[in-house]
């Protein structure tokens, strides 16, 4: 029995050694950090600032879009710096006829069937409405933000009513939020006063 005979043949030893080395090489990439660890670390770095802001942090007043031209209106402003419309405005809504329009302080809002006199959206909606005169009544917002309704001096045949009360011819009657304005017998509008957002 010699040493040479007892040991494995050299070529077999080499092949085994190569196999082991190959296995080691294959396992090496698994020791690198998996890709998701990078994402985790990134999220920690991009943590949002604490909310609510601590004392000493000033929050700028937020502008709101103008109802008339959609330009930014600074918080607290009474009129739009772009189109000059008052922030406080009238919203006139009716389901029959279908009307939903807004009107500010730039002149009176005329209600009637005459397309050359009344607000276009109103004239279209009132077209063919029984009991509504061609020039029926007007609503105006004065610079102090108050709303007033007057019947047209042509004396509409079927009258104008605020919350069921007939408007005396020639009178100027105040309107408030939630009032109902009726032209003639059937055609009624809800008055809503839109205030600037708080």
Interacting residue ranges for Zn ion, rule: CB under 5 A: 66, 68-69, 71, 80, 82-83
- Which C-beta is closer to Zn ion: that of 21 or that of 71? 71
Which of 53, 107 has the CB closer to Zn ion? 107
**Measured CA angle at 120 (ends 115, 125), to 5 deg:** 90
What residues have CB less than 8 Å from 133, skipping those under 6 apart?
Answer: 112, 113, 152, 154, 156, 157, 158, 183, 184
Instruction: Give the containing element (helix H, strand E) for 20.
Output: helix 10-27
Measured distance CA(36)–CA(40) in Å, rounded: 6
CB of 142 to Zn ion, least distance (A): 19
| Mode of pairing for the β-strands spanning 147-151 and 172-175 | antiparallel
- Nearest distance in Å: CB 105, Zn ion: 12
Q: How far is the CB of 86 from Zn ion (least distance, A)?
A: 10
Q: Nearest distance from residue 178's CB to Zn ion, in Å?
A: 25
In the complex, least distance from residue 65 CB atom to Zn ion, rounded to whole angstroms = 8
**Complex with Zn ion: residue 73 or 183, whichever CB lies closer:** 73
**Euclidean distance between CA atoms 118 and 149, whole angstroms:** 14
**Residue whose CB is less far from Zn ion, 69 or 157:** 69
Spatial contact of 66 and 85, defined as CB atoms under 8 Å apart: yes
Contact 129, 113 (CB under 8 A): yes
């Amino acid at each position: 029995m010699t040493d040479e005979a007892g040991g494995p043949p050299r070529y077999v030893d080499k092949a085994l050694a190569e196999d082991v080395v190959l296995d080691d090489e294959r396992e090496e990439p698994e020791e690198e950090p998996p890709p998701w660890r990078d994402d985790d670390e990134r999220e920690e770095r991009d943590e949002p600032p604490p909310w609510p802001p601590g004392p000493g942090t000033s929050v700028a007043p937020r502008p709101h879009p103008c109802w008339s031209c959609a330009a930014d209106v600074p918080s607290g402003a009474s009129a739009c710096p772009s189109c000059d419309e008052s922030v406080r405005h009238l919203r006139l809504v009716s389901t029959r006829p279908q009307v939903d329009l807004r009107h500010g302080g730039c002149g009176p809002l005329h209600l009637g069937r005459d397309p050359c006199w009344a607000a276009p959206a109103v004239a279209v909606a009132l077209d063919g409405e029984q009991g509504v005169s061609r020039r029926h009544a007007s609503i105006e917002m004065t610079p102090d933000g108050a709303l007033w309704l007057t019947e047209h001096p042509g004396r509409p045949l079927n009258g104008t009513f605020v919350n069921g009360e007939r408007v005396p011819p020639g009178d100027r009657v105040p309107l408030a939020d939630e009032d109902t304005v009726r032209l003639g017998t059937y055609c009624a509008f809800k008055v809503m006063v839109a205030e600037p957002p708080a």
